[in-house]
Structure 1
Amino acid sequence: MFKHKKKLVLVFCIIAIFCLSGCSSKVENTDKVVSLFANRLFYDTQVDEYKEMFSDSQLYNERAQEVEEDLQNNFATVFEPISGTLSKSEREDISISLIDKVRDKASYSYTIDETTKNTIKVTYHIKGFDYAHLVGMTMSNLNENADNIEIGTVGAKHIVTIAYYDALEKASSIDKPVDISIYFKRDDNKKWLVDTKKSKEKDIQNLLFVFMTGKRHDDDYEKKMIEEINQITSKEQTK
């Protein structure tokens, strides 16, 4: 009787070990999928691992390029009336320095909401870079040198560049994270991809934008930019 009980205990232990190892593997795999996706998108790292695990590796290269061009154009729209036309290489230098700072200051965490063998729902909590404040600080630096600026000259471009890099040194991320929920699913080849039927299209598009600006496209990004400009204007009027 005693030997029989010992055998049963042994069987239960073996079953428990298999169950625990299976659960552990599932959790580990889920975390890997979720973090790998974000690290590839936000930091441009783990490229080879991403290609092995995900089936849509080109989509986010294209999205990164779009956001980079958006920010280049935004910067040019605000400051070219002062500096004159920025060359392609000047725009690229500005965007490269910006992206480096974004990756240094912005961050993310996540909460896994639902998971099965072939599906994952995750909410990313993104503390994005405060791009509107960077533009505001750059404008404030320019106002301090307003008397020395001859609009559209090489000297003006030099002053704009200095003002930007000085502001970039002091730049930071937003305090309150933006939450975006995304669904992943396995395809027929057992690779992962974003489930576009369940995920909101705007959320998919805005993930990288939120990381780089701290705001959604359709949120209060423009409002924040206007607030920054109004603060600078009011400070100048009180001097």
Structure 2
Amino acid sequence: MTLKKHFPLQGPAEEPPKIAVGNQGRVLEQHSQLFESLANTVTALTTQQSEQHSQLAQITASLQDIATQLPQLRVASPASLAFANQAPVSSPASAPSAAAFPVSKPDKYDGSPDLCRGFLLQMSLFFVNSPVSVDAARISFFISRLTDKALDWATAIWPSIEGSTYEHFLKEFKLVFDHPHHGQSQGELLVKLRQGNRSVSDFALEFRTLAAGSGWNEPALRVMFRNGLRADVLAELACKDDGLPLDELIS
């Protein structure tokens, strides 16, 4: 009798462990992918939240600026707002500092004492309506408007005043030329002023000019005005009240 060696056969019972291990591997891989996806999602949400915080901070800062400006807008008076609405819009090509009515250069000054104060007035107005300049520039422009005797004086005195202030230069100029009517004061000229053959209007014009610089009060000026008139004109004023203001008396 022949004995046969039996080898155990692998049955279906041994297959499930391998299948289970394979299934677990696939499940772990799915979990890993899911975890990675969740991690990416969390990172994106964190970044988005950070950007939102930054935008919120900018909005808050803008609101604070607006809140700061509101009181200034509230205190603006209606008159100022009306003026702003009526103000003409300047052309972009025009300079904002340009004067609306440019002042012409003063006429040349020849050194005549009687014309000195008018020349100084024109120079003062020209400088006021011109851009701010240094003393040297003002002195240079001043001398450029001199001629004849005045220019001769500036030429002679230049070595001693070069580099000085405009105030010092002006003081030296006045010492030489600011002596109208041969050095007589305005009051002295008023005392000597007479109408003569002139019209009342011409006499009144010279009288007003001298009176403006005399420093006299109105009662004294009324007396001097009557004193300078011709006898026939003075007779016409006899019916007028002596207490009339000077302007009414002259008119």
TM-score, structure 1 as length reference: 0.20
* Higher normalized strand content (fraction of residues): 1
TM-score, structure 2 as length reference: 0.19
Choose 1 or 2 for highest CA Rg. Answer: 2
